[in-house]
A and B are shown apart, each in its own frame.
Chain A
C-alpha cells in the first residue's frame, strides 16, 4: 500500500482481556517498528523487526507484550491481560534497511488507540 496501515484505529477493551493490533508496512520496507505514545508523551520505542525476526525487543514493558512478523511483512502486537496503564496510541512504522549510515527516517502509521477500562 501507499502508507503504513494499522488496524483497528480504535480499540476499547476491559481490564484483563487480550488484544491484537495489526500493522501492514509499506511494500518493500524490510524494517518494522512498534512505538507507544502515552498521553502527553512522545513516542517510545517498543520493538524492531529486521525481516521476520525481532532484532531488538528491549522496549517491551513486560512479558504481557509480544509481537510477531511471521512472513516479514504484516506484524501483530499482542497484549495479554490488559491493564489500564496499557491505554495509549500504539504506532507502527517501517523503513528500508539502511545499515548504519545516515538519519533513519521512519514512516509511521496513524496508530491504534487502545483504551483499557
Chain B
C-alpha cells in the first residue's frame, strides 16, 4: 500500500521550459510534504517543503503547489536547466511522527540542452 505515489517514472524537458513533477498521496494524516533531489551516487538533498495548511510555496525557480482536497502536489521548475537533471522524490510526514518520512518511488527528470 503506497501512501505516496509518483506515477511518472521519467520526464524529459527542453532547457528553459517548465518541468512539472507530480505526486499523489493517500494518507490524510500527512501534515508536511517535501521534495528531495538525488544525483547518482549521492544522497537525496532537500529542495523545498510545504505545510498542509498552505497551497503554494516558492523558492527561486522552484514552486510547490498543494491541492489538499485532491491529495495532490506538484513541483514546478522554471526555467529548467541541464543541472536539474536528477531523480526527484516526493516525501511526506505527519506532525506527530516527523522522523518518519514516507517517500514516493521518484521521477527521473532529464533536461535537454
For residue B32, CB closer than 8 A to chain A, the reply is yes
Tell which of B6, B41, B99 has the most Cβ of chain A within 10 Å. B99
B43, B50, B106: the one contacting A109 at CB < 8 Å is B43
Given contacts A41-B105, A111-B43, contact A48 B99 (CB under 8 A): yes
The minimal Cβ–Cβ distance linking A42 to chain B, given in whole angstroms, is 3
Interface residues on B, range: 20 to 34
Given contacts A105-B49, A108-B44, A110-B42, contact A100 B95 (CB under 8 A): yes
Chain B residue at minimal CB-CB distance from A42: B103
User: Once the chains bind, are A110 and B32 in contact (CB under 8 Å)?
Assistant: no
Total residues of chain A contacting the partner, CB 8 A? 29
For residue B51, CB closer than 8 A to chain A, the reply is yes
On chain B, the residues within 8 Å of A45 by CB distance are 100-102
Interface residues in chain A, defined as those with a beta carbon under 8 Å from any beta carbon in chain B: 4, 31, 33, 35, 40-45, 48, 55-56, 59, 91, 93, 98, 100-111
Interface residues in chain B, defined as those with a beta carbon under 8 Å from any beta carbon in chain A: 4, 6, 32-34, 36, 41-46, 49-51, 89, 91, 93, 95-106
